[in-house]
Amino acid sequence: MAQPPEDPFVVAGSGGVVLGEARTNHEGRRALLLVRGVGNTTELRSLAETMGITIVETVVQSGKDDPRTYFGKGRLEDIADERNSTLAGHPWSGVDLVIIHTNATPRQLVGVSQALGVEVWDRVRLLLALFTAHASSVEARTQVRIAQLQSDRTILRELANQQTTGERAGYGGGGITALQGVLANLNRELTNLRRRQKKHANAQREHRRQRRRSGAVTVGFVGYTNAGKSSLFQHLSGKTVLVEDQLFSTLETTVGRMEKSPRILLADTIGFIDNIPNATLAAFKSTIAEAIDADLTLILLDTSDSLPEIQRKLETTRREVLERQETEPDLLEEQRSPHVVLTKIDKISDQQHQAVVNLIEELGFEGPVAVSSITGEGIDALQQFIRERLFGQPITVHVLPPTHASPDASERIVSAFYEGGMVEEDQRSEDGVMTLKVWMTTSKQAQLVARWKGRIDIK
């Protein structure tokens, strides 16, 4: 009897479904792309390219998806024949992967893989493979694995279903029992990973609370993948992160201080892409939470995209942000309105820039700040904007000299202001009064006023 391997990673593969080790490097693989009807294949091609996969040919069949096999049965048989009879030099030689140009159903994945006898991915499995290849931290690997297992489970369930209804012959030698064993292993691993992820999410939430209590404020960057989030983060924080002209360079959250305002923290995180199934997206929820459970959320848009593209991405991102904010009950009202930042303005003309600004305003957003992380244009204005948005205008604090009744040293009070906000000026007059110009949240101000009543005077 065929034993299911320990690792229940599942790929749709030769002769049906192959169980094997999760492969993380797909560099150099050659693939066929199947497209049903008309479709723009640009996104899928750049996803494949990012992973070093060559699409040797795009095979198109007109008409609507077949619910069982995506392509028609006859056409799939032709493809299988051609692939099996390729000689060296044929463009299809070495093809060991077929990619379906859609988010396919488990039934279609199984159907195509059975018909072609080769590993089959759809758009979601391609994304998952890409995430797996790019995941470098424990956090990222955990969430990607969860998403992958959830997707594998839908395929295993489809197989189990086909077996119980007699649509398909036995699974290995063990039939349904072996399949159930694999499913049970998978569920066990999923439970463990979810527990680990939940722990991590709770720890992070607690971390955010502590940061907030200490007077630090957070700015979250959200936006589509490749919008320029990590580049801007790097520019403002001086902290090095991965920046690449590819989709999904970033999969986890990095928090860094804004160089010119150390009390302001910036959160760079994973980007969005269209049409991801909810179950897959859910695995990334705690990562994105870091940027959404922020004092100010900035939506980054690549200005070199076309206007319809910008509009679609902005509307989708706004919807995502609002939906996710609903699951963060601690957020205050003023934290709930995201602001738009236009990136890569070095790539467009003033005229194009104006057209984008008009569009953003028509969509109900305030005038966006525009920046270039390459030339540095707009960066000062953005820093000023962030500061004013978070702290309002700076306050002037007079710290009175110590008295007999309250002998607290002025220095302690002054350092509390340094810790809780951003001190821009600091002067001491001859009568011992210290005057500070400080950017600070109103809640932190209230806390310090309550603590040193009578010792400080704020204007």
How near is the Cβ of 164 to Mg ion at its closest, in Å? Answer: 45
**Other beta carbons within 10 Å of 424:** 12
Q: Are 60 and 33 in contact (CB under 8 A)?
A: no
Residue 129 or 434: the one with the smaller Cβ distance to ligand GTP is 129
Residue 244 or 361: the one with the smaller Cβ distance to ligand GTP is 244
Q: Which of 50, 142, 197, 249 binds Mg ion (CB under 5 A)?
A: 249
Q: Are 287 and 253 in contact (CB under 8 A)?
A: yes
Q: Which does 374 bind (CB under 5 to 8 A by kind): Mg ion, ligand GTP, none?
A: ligand GTP
Q: Does 226 bind ligand GTP (CB under 6 A)?
A: yes
Q: Are 133 and 249 in contact (CB under 8 A)?
A: no
Q: Does 250 bind Mg ion (CB under 5 A)?
A: yes
Centroid of chain to Cα 247: 11
In our burial notation (b when 16+ CB lie closer than 10 A, e otherwise), range 348-362 reads beeeeeeebbebbee
Q: Does 274 bind ligand GTP (CB under 6 A)?
A: no
Specify the stretch interacting with ligand GTP by CB under 6 A; choose among 155-163, 229-237, 309-317, 325-333.
229-237
Residue 237 or 445: the one with the smaller Cβ distance to ligand GTP is 237
Q: Which does 372 bind (CB under 5 to 8 A by kind): Mg ion, ligand GTP, none?
A: ligand GTP
The Cα–Cα gap between 424 and 229 comes to 28
Q: Which of 287, 290, 301 is nearest to 135 (CA)?
A: 287
**Other beta carbons within 10 Å of 89:** 6
Residue 250 or 373: the one with the smaller Cβ distance to Mg ion is 250
Q: Does 142 bind ligand GTP (CB under 6 A)?
A: no
The Cα–Cα gap between 289 and 73 comes to 44
Binding mask 204-243 for Mg ion (x = CB under 5 A): -------------------------xx-------------
How near is the Cβ of 375 to ligand GTP at its closest, in Å? Answer: 7
Q: Which of 71, 121, 131, 248 binds ligand GTP (CB under 6 A)?
A: 248
Of 374-403, binders to ligand GTP (CB under 6 A) are 374
Residue 156 or 222: the one with the smaller Cβ distance to ligand GTP is 222
Cβ burial of 189 (10 Å; 0-12, 13-18, 19+) is middle
- The count of chain residues that interact with ligand GTP, using the rule CB under 6 A, is 22
How near is the Cβ of 243 to ligand GTP at its closest, in Å? Answer: 4
The Cα–Cα gap between 80 and 69 comes to 13
Alpha-carbon dihedral angle through residues 312, 314, 317, 321, given to the nearest 10 degrees: -140
Amino acid at 95: V
The site for Mg ion (CB under 5 A) is made up of: 229-230, 249-250
The site for ligand GTP (CB under 6 A) is made up of: 225-231, 243-245, 247-250, 271, 343-344, 346-347, 372-374
